[in-house]
Copies of this chain bind each other. A is one copy, B any other.
Amino acid sequence: MGMTIKEATWSEGKDLAFEINKRVKIAREKYGSDDVINACLGTLADDNGDIIALDSVYKRLDEMDKKDIASYAPIEGEEEYRKLVIETLFANYKPDGYISAIATPGGTGAIRSAIFSYLGVGDPLICHDYYWAPYRKICQEFGRDFRTYEFFTDDFSFNIDAFRKEVETSLKDKDRIAPLINSPGNNPTGYSLSDEEWDQVIEFLKEKAADKNKKITLIVDVAYLEFAGDGDMQRRFFKKFSNLPENLLVIVCFSMSKSHTAYGLRSGAAVAISKNKEIIEEFEISLSHSARCNWSNGTHAAQNILIDLEKEENKGEYLDELVDLRTMLEDRAKEFVEVSKEKNLTMIPYFGGFFTFIPTPNAFDITRKLEGENIFTIPSDKGIRVAICGVAKDKIRRLVEKIAYYINEEK
């Protein structure tokens, strides 16, 4: 006999990336970090494979009054934090309308609360078919219906027709839907929707929202925003969220994990945009209720770090470090793309983010063989996710060559 309710009983609770990461640790202890390529977990590592913790960020923690670490944050987050999240997130491309941010534990908490508050049981979350697995898990946890469409056309551009078709189909039998798009720097593919592709998405959803019986919530996961361009261009699409119909709400999910190398501090926010003030107030109340009932309040130190970093005397140092990180990642990605071309290895076009992606139907086989050579990547039905965020540039060639070797072997 079991004790958990049916809806909370699962055959497997382990997360693939975290489980493989445990094997990486064992391999590093056994063989040393030089001989191990850790391309599994989404955290930025230096050329020795050690996680990077930005000085500018952690100096703020060192200097912080202990009272500001020990004390509770307000349930919805520090007021200044909420304000600065909106300012730094949108920068020069802040959409017109009412906007509010509610603090959450990382981006996960924001996505979770968007799905929980805006989809009923059985309502569809509509996601591209290359996706971060927790989107599906969250839908399972709360009985929401996880549906996917083909992310890419044959030449790897955004498949707007597939998107349109899935939205149409879903709206036929459901009045509430939530499309979720993880861009720029999509996890696991590295793809970013172009501004034109965003225009198509928005125009189409506006059309659908002409039916006032429909409630559409567009969830946008921008966890990799700071690593998907020069910090300006990749923000332009935010402006398109201005003046949307009232029954088309946008929730942007912000995370400090990657932008601030603050994964373990668990801080993010759900940021809602609407031209209707009441819809934003309702958002604040609903998400604060969820906060109180699930994690109570956010990590106060992380919120205070963001507040301190935005002070004139600290901001420059952080932005400089961020440019260095971005450049390091771009160099790795460039090397990956070049060697892939050289080896005729098909990859999804990389525009940014922590991952590159090699499509293959034999990913589980191949990644097992790669593990035999101390190369750790993440397999899925669609291919291999390669966390270039964790691999030194001078190891990239070996990494790509080995992948190409085993892919060809399977052919």
Footprint of B on A, CB under 8 Å?
Answer: 1-15, 18, 22, 41, 43, 50-53, 58, 61-62, 66-76, 105-106, 108-109, 112, 116-120, 123, 134, 137-138, 140-142, 176, 212, 215, 217, 246-247, 249, 261-266, 274, 278-279, 282-290, 292-301
Residues of chain B within 8 A (CB-CB) of A140 are 293
Residues of chain B within 8 A (CB-CB) of A298 are 266
Asked if residues B72 and A53 are in contact (CB atoms below 8 Å), the reply is no
Asked if residues A112 and B67 are in contact (CB atoms below 8 Å), the reply is no
Asked if residues B53 and A105 are in contact (CB atoms below 8 Å), the reply is no
A271 to chain B, nearest CB (A): 15
Q: Could you list 14 examples of A-B contacts with CB < 8 Å? A: A1-B246, A2-B278, A3-B217, A3-B279, A4-B117, A10-B289, A13-B284, A13-B285, A13-B288, A41-B72, A43-B72, A71-B263, A105-B105, A266-B266
Known: A51-B71, A112-B294, A292-B137. A285 touches B105 (CB 8 A): no
A116 to chain B, nearest CB (A): 6
Residues of chain B within 8 A (CB-CB) of A300 are 263-265
A33 to chain B, nearest CB (A): 13
**A293 and B261 alpha carbons, distance in the complex (Å):** 21
Residues of chain B within 8 A (CB-CB) of A290 are 8, 141
Which among A22, A138, A266 has the greatest number of chain B C-beta atoms within 10 A?
A: A266
**A290 and B5 alpha carbons, distance in the complex (Å):** 13
A294 to chain B, nearest CB (A): 5
Asked if residues A18 and B264 are in contact (CB atoms below 8 Å), the reply is no
Asked if residues B18 and A74 are in contact (CB atoms below 8 Å), the reply is yes
**A260 and B68 alpha carbons, distance in the complex (Å):** 15
Give the contacting residue for A109; candidates B10, B285, B294; CB below 8 A. Answer: B294
**A253 and B212 alpha carbons, distance in the complex (Å):** 45
Q: A6-B120, A52-B70 are in contact. List 7 more A-B contacts (CB 8 A).
A: A2-B279, A5-B118, A8-B290, A43-B70, A43-B71, A51-B67, A51-B70
Residues of chain B within 8 A (CB-CB) of A120 are 5-7
- Which residue in chain B gives the minimum CB-CB distance to A215? B3
A288 to chain B, nearest CB (A): 4
Residues of chain B within 8 A (CB-CB) of A2 are 278-279, 282
Give the contacting residue for A286; candidates B13, B284, B297; CB below 8 A. Answer: B13
- Which residue in chain B gives the minimum CB-CB distance to A68? B264
Residues of chain B within 8 A (CB-CB) of A119 are 5
Residues of chain B within 8 A (CB-CB) of A15 are 75, 288, 292
Residues of chain B within 8 A (CB-CB) of A53 are 66-67, 69-70
Give the contacting residue for A108; candidates B176, B287, B295; CB below 8 A. Answer: B295
A73 to chain B, nearest CB (A): 6
A354 to chain B, nearest CB (A): 13
Asked if residues B5 and A262 are in contact (CB atoms below 8 Å), the reply is no
Residues of chain B within 8 A (CB-CB) of A212 are 1
